[in-house]
Amino acid sequence: MMDIDGWRAKIDEIDEELVRLINARAEAALAIGELKRTSELPVYEPQREKAVFEHVRRVNAGPLSEAQMVDIYERVIDVMRSLQKRSS
């Protein structure tokens, strides 16, 4: 059984992986933003965001609820959209 320090170390490892993955997602969002600019497409695409939320709900195995996971992804998408806008 892991003690609190062990669990905290595990969280630190997970956070490092999350940071790497969020930055990888940001790189993809920037590339998409560039393609949107050259194709004169809008940064905000509500249908795509809806599809992302549906996908996240579908693949979520918990313990977070679907609503909690969507809350997190709403913020992630918000940040990614603002990144795309700033780079235009």
pLDDT tens, 46-74? 999 999 999 999 999 999 999 999 999 99
30-41, pLDDT tens digit by residue? Answer: 999 999 999 999
Residue 6: predicted pLDDT: 98
Query: Which band of pLDDT confidence, cut at 50, 70 and 90, is reported for residue 88?
Result: low
CB neighbour list of residue 60: distance below 8 Å, 6 or more residues apart: 66, 69
Q: Which CATH superfamily is domain 4-86 in?
A: Chorismate mutase (1.20.59.10)
**pLDDT recorded at residue 66:** 97
List the chain domain ranges.
4-86
Mean pLDDT for all residues in the chain: 95
Instruction: Please state, in angstroms and as integers, the Cα–Cα distance from residue 49 to each residue in 20, 25, 87, following that order.
Output: 22, 14, 20
